Amino acid sequence: MTMNILLITLDQFRGDCLSIANHPVVRTPHLDRLCENGMRFSHHYSQASPCGPGRASLYTGMYQMNHRVVANGTPLNDNFDNIARIGLRAGYEPTLFGYTDQAIDPRVSVGPEDPWLSDYEAVLPGFTCALDLRTGQAPWVEWLVAKGYDSSKTGIQFLATEHERSVELSVSTFTTNHVIDWLGEQSDPWFAHVSYIRPHPPYSAAGHFSTMYSLDAVGQPIERAEKVHPFHETMLLFPQTAAPTDAAELAHMRSQYFGMISEVDAQVGRIIDELIRLDQWDSTVIVVTADHAELLGDHGLKEKVGYWETSQHIPCIVRDPRYTAMHGTVVNRFTENIDIVPTLCDVMDQEIPSQCDGLPLTKFLTGEEPPWWRESAHWEYDWRFALIPFDIDQWPWRRTLAKQTLAVQRCDTTAYVQFGDGTYVCFDLAADPTWRTEITDPVVIVQEAQKMLVWRMQHMNRELTGFLTENGGIGRWPSGVPWRQNI
C-alpha cells in the first residue's frame, strides 16, 4: 500500500515542551495524542541552527560539515539530493505549506536578475508551493487586510501583535485552513510538508493562548554559570541572543512561548481530526519535528545559538499506521534530524542517497533493535556573523572564518564542545545535567576529543568515494554489490 506522507515542522520547538514528556507547565494534548498513536523519540536533536542550516540537515540527511549551509542565506548545493526530489522519484507531488528557508545555489539560477538570488528563503527544489509563507507572510497579511486590518503593517508587525487578535486570525490557523482545504481535494497518495512558523519569535501567542500561562507559573530558566567560555560571553552581548534581565520581561517571554506551543499543538490536532474525518488516518505516515529549539532564558540567552542542549533538543514523533504494535512507546536512544530522510525513503520504498549521514528509524518503528546505533548526538554551530570585519583580510592564512565554529558531541554522561580556535569545554552531565559543571580531568577530555575526531573522520563527505574507474566509471566492488554499500 502506498502511504500518504505528512511532514510537519514546528519552528523553534523545544524537545522538552510536551506534556507527555512531563513538562511542568506547557500543555500539548494533541501532540500527546499523536505520541500515544505513534512513537516518540525522546533524545532527538537538530544538527545545526539557525533555520537555514538546521533545515538543510533535515532535508538532505547530512551533517553541516558536509552540506556546508552555515547561516541563513548560505546556498544549498544543488547537487545534493533532498526529501522533495526523492518524493518526486517515488511518484508523489511533494507539496509545501509555509517555507523551507533554503537559499538557491547561484550556479543554477537563470541569471543575475533571478528573484531567488535576492531571497534566502527559496523553496527547496522539488516542492510545489501551495502556500508561500516566506518572509513577510504575504498571503496571510493580505487576508488580514481584507478583513479590515491595517494595510500599512508588515508581516513581522502582525506576528508581533498576534496576542491582540483571536486565534481564528492567527498565522497558524491560516496555514492549517489551507492544509485542510487541500486535503479534501486529494485522491492519489499525497506528500505534504506543513512548515509552521510558530513557536518562532516574535514572542506573541494568538488570542486566548497569550493568557493561557500566567507569569508566576512559567518557571525559571537555567541560570548561567559563574565561569563561562568567551563564546558564551560574546552571545550575551548581542541583543538578539541575550535574554531579558528583567524578571517580568523574562516571564512574559516564557509565557508567550508556551502559549505559541499550545496553539500550534491545537493546529496539529485540527489536521489529525481532518485525517480521521477523511478516513486517511490509517493511510498516512506522520512525522513531526523541528528545525532547532529555543534557549528561552537558559544560561542567560534566548533564541537558538551555540552549543547548549536546549538550543538543539527537539521533538520527534513518528506515526506509521502499519506498525501499531509499537504505538505509544518511547525510544530513548540518540536520534537526529538527519535520520528523517532515510526513514521517509523506507516509507517511499526509495534507495537512501549515499550522501546521507543519518539512518532510518524503521527498525525502531517495527519493534526491532537496530544492529548498530550511535552512542551520542552531534550538532554544529557557525557564528561568523560575530567576526570583527577587519579580520577577514587575513583570510585564508589565519583561517579566521573557520575559527568561528564549534561542534558538539552529546553522550549520556558528557558533552564535549570543540571550538574552531582550538579551545574546548567538557561538561559533566552525570553530575549536573544543566551544562554548567565542567570536567577538568585531562584523560576524560582527551577521550571525548578522540571520539569527536573519529565521528568526523567517519562522516566526512563521501561523494564519489565509492566509485571505481572501471566499467565506464561506474565501478562495483565486490562483484554484484552496488558501490553505495561500500562507502
- What tens digit of pLDDT does each residue of 222-279 get? 999 999 999 999 999 999 999 999 999 999 999 999 999 999 999 999 999 999 999 9
Q: Retrieve residue 285's grid coordinates.
A: 505516515
Q: Which of 25-39, 116-130, 290-304 is least confident?
A: 116-130
What's the pLDDT at 468? 59
Comparison of pLDDT for 136 and 194, the residue scoring more = 194
- 406 near 418, Cβ under 8 Å? yes
- The percentage of residues in the chain with a pLDDT greater than 90, rounded to a whole number, is 84
Checking if the pLDDT of 136 tops 80, the result is: yes
Confidence of residue 479 (pLDDT cuts 50, 70, 90): very low
Cell 548560505 maps to which residue?
74
Distance CA 199, CA 11 (A): 6
Confidence of residue 132 (pLDDT cuts 50, 70, 90): very high
Checking if the pLDDT of 390 tops 90, the result is: no
What's the pLDDT at 119? 75
Checking if the pLDDT of 353 tops 50, the result is: yes
Q: Which of 110-124, 348-362, 432-446 is least confident?
A: 110-124
What's the pLDDT at 486? 38
Distance set, CA 151 to CA 118, 134, 142, 147, 158 (Å): 24, 18, 8, 10, 10
Checking if the pLDDT of 43 tops 50, the result is: yes
CA 300, chain centre distance (Å): 22
Average pLDDT for 439-457: 97
- The percentage of residues in the chain with a pLDDT greater than 70, rounded to a whole number, is 92
- 427 near 34, Cβ under 8 Å? no
My answer on whether omega of the bond before 244 falls inside 30° of 0, hence cis, is no
Confidence of residue 463 (pLDDT cuts 50, 70, 90): confident
pTM of the model: 0.94
Average pLDDT for 431-448: 97
Amino acid letter, 423: T
CA 389, chain centre distance (Å): 30
What's the pLDDT at 483? 40
Cell 565554529 maps to which residue?
405
What's the pLDDT at 470? 55
Mean predicted lDDT score pLDDT of the chain: 92
Angle formed at CA 278 by CA 19 and CA 20, multiple of 5 degrees:
10
What's the pLDDT at 471? 53
Checking if the pLDDT of 327 tops 70, the result is: yes
Domains in the chain (CATH in brackets) are 4-374 (3.40.720.10), 380-486 (no CATH)
Average pLDDT for 128-134: 96
What's the pLDDT at 469? 56
- 100 near 124, Cβ under 8 Å? yes
Distance CA 483, CA 487 (A): 7
Checking if the pLDDT of 484 tops 50, the result is: no
What's the pLDDT at 263? 98
Distance CA 124, CA 191 (A): 14
* Radius of gyration in angstroms for the set of CA atoms belonging to the chain, rounded to a whole number: 22
Confidence of residue 392 (pLDDT cuts 50, 70, 90): low
Distance set, CA 174 to CA 153, 197, 298, 332 (Å): 17, 11, 31, 35
Q: Which long-range contacts (CB under 8 A, 24 or more apart) does 160-164 make?
A: 160/202, 160/204, 161/204, 162/204, 162/205, 162/206, 162/207, 162/210, 163/204, 163/205, 163/206, 163/207, 163/210, 163/256
Contacts of 364 (CB under 8 A, 6+ apart): 39, 41, 326, 331, 333, 370
What's the pLDDT at 231? 94
Confidence of residue 117 (pLDDT cuts 50, 70, 90): confident
Span 354-384, pLDDT tens digits: 999 999 999 999 999 998 899 999 999 998 8
Checking if the pLDDT of 477 tops 50, the result is: no
CA 345, chain centre distance (Å): 18
Checking if the pLDDT of 145 tops 80, the result is: yes
Q: How many residues are given for the chain?
A: 487
